[in-house]
Amino acid sequence: MSGNKYKKTKKSTSLEAMANSSNEHESLVAQKMLDKTKSEIVKKKKHSIKHSKDNALEGKEKDELFRAIRELDMKPELKYKYEVLVHLMMNAGLRVSEALQVRLEWFNETEDGIILKIPGKARDLGNLKRDWNPKTLAGKREIIFIDPAVGEKVRSYFIHNQGIGMLRQRAYKIMKMLGKIINKPNLHPHALRSTYANTLVYGGVNATTLMYCLGWSDLNVALNYIKANNMAARKDLLEKMRGQ
């Protein structure tokens, strides 16, 4: 159990004891504090919904997202940057922290298409005095862009730019801004990764491939995506049963 979780549990237990106290004033004060603590826990659980795979974008919403970027009232080079950021998360499955570290030397052109190689260690573009590492050991991986044209467009950006050049907070704000435009106010960078995961599941990839491409260390995460994906199940059923 983590320290914060232990503290919250201990605090809640103490408040419950006070609420059951024979001292009427102490009991009322403790009950109010207990209700507030439980309310905060519930809010935190609701807040985590934006990280859920259920918040992933479907085909029409993906088109709307890029349309929203194109229609922004700003310089073309800035819109290009936003498009590349979205592509890295939604069409390559990168975490936002990984997307903000991408640089030209991570790309490789092969017979199969553009490969993006995420190393286990690199100089941090946000602070060149320190090193950057992926979130997990499994984060070290090679990703091929399913759409070669998208891979080439993303790689072309880095030919002329050292990196995305923004902080995570800025990336979050951009996603929220775009989310409001497409009527997805809770849009979060993780939803784009979930969109990529769903795309792979819809395509029929197995759990280990999904795990590798997303940089997950826990196979259960991949199995959960596959097991709970009703769209993939429907597609698989129709293709197999109608093909008989």
Q: What is the pLDDT of residues 153-193, one digit of tens each?
A: 999 999 999 999 999 999 999 999 999 999 998 899 999 99
Q: Which sign, positive or negative, has the C-alpha torsion 169, 175, 177, 180? A: negative
What is the C-alpha separation between 8 and 41, in angstroms, rounded? Answer: 9
Tens of pLDDT, residue by residue over 184-224, are 988 999 999 999 999 998 888 889 999 999 999 998 888 88
| Residues facing 114 on adjacent strands | 109
What is the C-alpha separation between 188 and 52, in angstroms, rounded? Answer: 10
Reported pTM = 0.75
Residue 1 pLDDT class (50, 70, 90 cuts): low
Residue 59 pLDDT class (50, 70, 90 cuts): confident
Residue 70 has pLDDT above 70, yes or no: yes
3-state SS class at 96: helix
| Residues facing 132 on adjacent strands | 122
What is the C-alpha separation between 191 and 227, in angstroms, rounded? Answer: 18
Nearby residues of 207 by Cβ (< 8 Å), 6 or more positions away = 219, 222, 223, 226
Mean pLDDT of the 119-128 span = 94
Residue 17 has pLDDT above 70, yes or no: no
